Structure 1
Amino acid sequence: MNLVRSFVTAFSMFSKLPVPTLKWRDDNMRYMLAMFPFVGAVVGLFVWAWLWISEALGFGALLRAAGLTLLPVAVTGGIHLDGFCDTSDALASHAPAERKREILKDPHTGAFAVISVVAYLILYFALSTELQVSARTPLLLGAMFVLSRTLSGLSVLLFAPNGGKGLLSTFKNAAEKQVSVAILAVFFLLCLAGLLLTDLYLGAAMIAAAVLCVLYLFFMARRQFGGMSGDLAGYFLQLGELCMLAAMILIQKVVFQ
């Protein structure tokens, strides 16, 4: 039952999908981070449905790209983009680590957050217009959404925290760490196998991009903020998906044209 409650809590926290609301108790959040990749799988299903509709109705590249850009935000409610905005504000401040952590907690949106999120969405949209869609594309994109959440969850559980008392601290303290890490490790291996079996070149490029983003997150979080936070996990998720999409399109352009 703990797994089921954690599954529901994960969707309640990390998506806007209608699910039962459970109390924020440790037993309901024990495996929540381990269930996080399932949210990515559902995002992938929505994206697959949009690609199918786009093909069936003959949508142009711009309308198809708009759906690819906005659907993940609609399904998640923008919770990870919120972390991206807060982190962008903090990084742009060039302040000491303590001040950066204060900026992460500030509910106000700064100019650099607005600039960063607009630039992010424009770039994601532009990349999506260049995407060469095939029968394998939904599988690759679905694995991308699962992999980003798998690595985000692992970073929360394994990277040293910055000492704050935010949501990350709550999730981490409530988690059954060894079991959650083991489940996420299985997700990671399944994503690797799925990407490589679906398309060796595209899959390898996407995996490489994700790994590089994890390394960047590790060193950036430690140097700039003194450790991990929930906002940094959201920042990584958005950055990782953008980089994986870019890597996918780059290989399509270089290898298959």
Structure 2
Amino acid sequence: MNLISSMLTAFTMYTRINFPHKDFAKTDSRYLIMGMIPVGFFIGVIWWFVYSLLAVFDIPAMVLAAVMSVFPHWFSGYIHLEGYMDMSAEIIARQRGQGNDGKNSLNVISLAVLMLIQFAAFYQFVTTSQEPLMLLFVPIFSRELAAMLIFMMPTFMGNGTSKSIAECTIILVLLILATVIACIVTVGMRGALLIISMLIGFILPSVVAMRSKLPGGDTAGYSLTLSETIGFVALAIIY
């Protein structure tokens, strides 16, 4: 029951669906982090379904690309996008030697650049009729990587026994391997490209973000958002 309750709490935290749930502070943080993965699967299924449904009705490519760009952010309550915006503004501000002044404008600029790139990538995805099943794997893999990143953070390691965290990490590694294999088997070489580009797109921002020593949730949201974006950009470039 504790696991089920924690998963419902994770869905409430990471999506717009409001299940009866426990107080976030009273929920085992390991379950909340691992809960991102079924949430990613759920988002991927709906994302794929929405794309397939709209494609049947011959929706204009620009409209379809716009919907596909916005939908995952909207459905997740913008929680990861918020982390991306905060981290982007903080990193740019530190590079420019700024204080808190001007961070709001940097938030907006970072968001505008991200959405423009995502729209362009999705427009290419739509107009070249790529395999819709890739939409299923993107949110799953990005959230698995985000969960792994959080488990590896020293601040999180202090919140539980090393044994329990090690058990979660082993399960997470197996889930990542299963996702990689399923994506490559289902989608083929484009699936392999998607996985590799997302992995690179996650690791590089994570290294930059962790140097800033900001909260783990912001770092994970920042890297998750960029990994998904870079994955689709890579597919758009090489198609």
Q: How would you bin the TM-score normalised by the shorter chain?
A: 0.7 to 0.9
Q: Which amino acid aligns with 2:148?
A: L
1:2 aligns with 2:2: yes
Residue 14 of structure 1 and its aligned partner are, at CA, apart by: 1.0
Which structure 2 segments of 5+ residues have no match? none
Partner Cα distance (1:55, 1:218) in 2: 35
1:111 aligns with 2:105: yes
Cα deviations by residue, 1:169-204 (Å, 9 ceiling, x for unpaired):
5x9726941232123212211210121112232112
Q: Which residue of 2 aligns with 1:247?
A: 234
3-state DSSP of counterpart to 1:20:
coil
Q: Which residue of 2 aligns with 1:165?
A: none
3-state DSSP of counterpart to 1:110:
helix
Change (3 A) 1:73 1:214: closer
Q: Which residue of 2 aligns with 1:133?
A: 129
Q: Does the aligned pair in 1 maintain the 2:206–2:223 contact within 8 Å?
A: no
Q: Does the aligned pair in 1 maintain the 2:40–2:140 contact within 8 Å?
A: yes
Residue 150 of structure 1 and its aligned partner are, at CA, apart by: 0.4
Residue 65 of structure 1 and its aligned partner are, at CA, apart by: 0.6
Matched-pair identity in %:
24
Alignment of 1:119-158 (within 5 A): 119-131=113-125, 132-134=128-130, 136-137=131-132, 139-158=133-152
Partner Cα distance (1:120, 1:44) in 2: 20
Q: Which residue of 2 aligns with 1:216?
A: 204
Q: Does the aligned pair in 2 maintain the 1:69–1:124 contact within 8 Å?
A: yes
Q: Which residue of 1 aligns with 2:177?
A: 189
Residue 95 of structure 1 and its aligned partner are, at CA, apart by: 5.6
Q: Does the aligned pair in 2 maintain the 1:154–1:181 contact within 8 Å?
A: yes
Change (3 A) 1:241 1:69: same
CA RMSD, 1 decimal: 2.6
Q: Which runs of 4+ in 1 moved over 3 A?
A: 25-30
Partner Cα distance (2:32, 2:153) in 1: 17
Q: Which residue of 2 aligns with 1:234?
A: 221
Q: Which residue of 2 aligns with 1:66?
A: 66
Partner Cα distance (2:160, 2:153) in 1: 16
Cα deviations by residue, 1:127-164 (Å, 9 ceiling, x for unpaired):
11111335x32x21111110000000100001344xxx
Partner Cα distance (2:187, 2:50) in 1: 21
Q: Which residue of 1 aligns with 2:159?
A: 173
Change (3 A) 1:127 1:95: closer
Change (3 A) 1:2 1:251: farther
TM-score, normalised with respect to structure 2: 0.87
Residue 16 of structure 1 and its aligned partner are, at CA, apart by: 1.0
Which structure 1 segments of 5+ residues have no match? 162-168, 253-257
Partner Cα distance (2:103, 2:22) in 1: 29
Q: Which amino acid aligns with 1:202?
A: R
Alignment length (residue pairs): 235
